[in-house]
Amino acid sequence: MKQMLDQLLGAGKGWLNEGGDSRKAQMKGMAQGGLAAGAMALLLGNKKMRKYGGKVAAVGGAAALGGLAYKLYQDWQAQQSSPAQPTQPTQPLDTLQGNALDARAALLVRAMVAAARADGHIDGDERQKIQQYLTEQGQSDAARWIDTELARPLDPHALAREVTDMELATEVYLASLLAIEVDHFMERGYLDELARALKLDDNLKGSIERQVAQLAQPA
């Protein structure tokens, strides 16, 4: 799952290097971004994928996402008059190894896939395209995993139940924002409901959203 997360976050470079909306550019962007990036391209569509590519290219890989989330959390915590100290604080993503890293990466990929389908455009035909793409690439396990995620009800509260504290909530909300282009009321509604489910402080939520908005700006 760490590899899949890195592919999703590394997708931007290959995608942005290919101009236009041609099928050739789309397929080359998929190949350069990795298999998971190809699946994300099919989830988002070409127009949104280019915007997504700009944001994730500015972040880098999974370790960079974890570092950015941790900085946003610490900056917010420093502004609190009496910061709450969790009994078992979540380790930043970039410090995890082994099974713990795999579990965290799986949670963040789930968050990104859920956000990408928040506008409701993924139907049976779109799911079939994603399955076909991954299966043709010899990735039947990834195809089954993603199809399972796409079959789940879109429930931010179920995702939030796996989040134990505000540090992890920051990572999940940041990953979700990277995978979504808030140009539809269903996407805005999903993010707001996710933030409520995560019990995300309004000031921290605003900081994360401002950071992602900056990432989306052309260099």
Report the predicted TM-score, pTM, of the whole model to 2 decimal places: 0.80
Percent of the chain whose predicted confidence (pLDDT) is above 70: 71
Percent of the chain whose predicted confidence (pLDDT) is above 90: 27
Highest mean pLDDT among 36-40, 107-111, 137-141, 145-149: 107-111
Which has more pLDDT, 194 or 131? Answer: 194
Three-state SS annotation for the chain: CHHHHHHHHCHHHHHHCCCCCCHHHHHHHHHHHCHHHHHHHHHHCHHHHHHHHHHHHHHCCHHHHHHHHHHHHHHHHHCCCCCCCCCCCCCCHHHCCHHHHHHHHHHHHHHHHHHHCCCCCCCHHHHHHHHHHHHHCCCHHHHHHHHHHHHCCCCHHHHHCCCCCHHHHHHHHHHHHHCCCCCCHHHHHHHHHHHHHCCCCHHHHHHHHHHHHHHCCCC
What pLDDT digit, counting tens, does each position of 156-194 carry? Answer: 999 999 999 999 999 999 999 988 888 888 999 999 999
Task: State the average pLDDT over residues 92-111.
Answer: 85
Examine the pLDDT at 112 and tell me if it is beyond 80.
yes
Examine the pLDDT at 76 and tell me if it is beyond 80.
yes
What pLDDT digit, counting tens, does each position of 197-212 carry? Answer: 999 999 999 999 999 9
Examine the pLDDT at 86 and tell me if it is beyond 60.
no
Examine the pLDDT at 19 and tell me if it is beyond 90.
no
Q: How confident is the model at residue 46 (pLDDT cuts 50, 70, 90)?
A: low
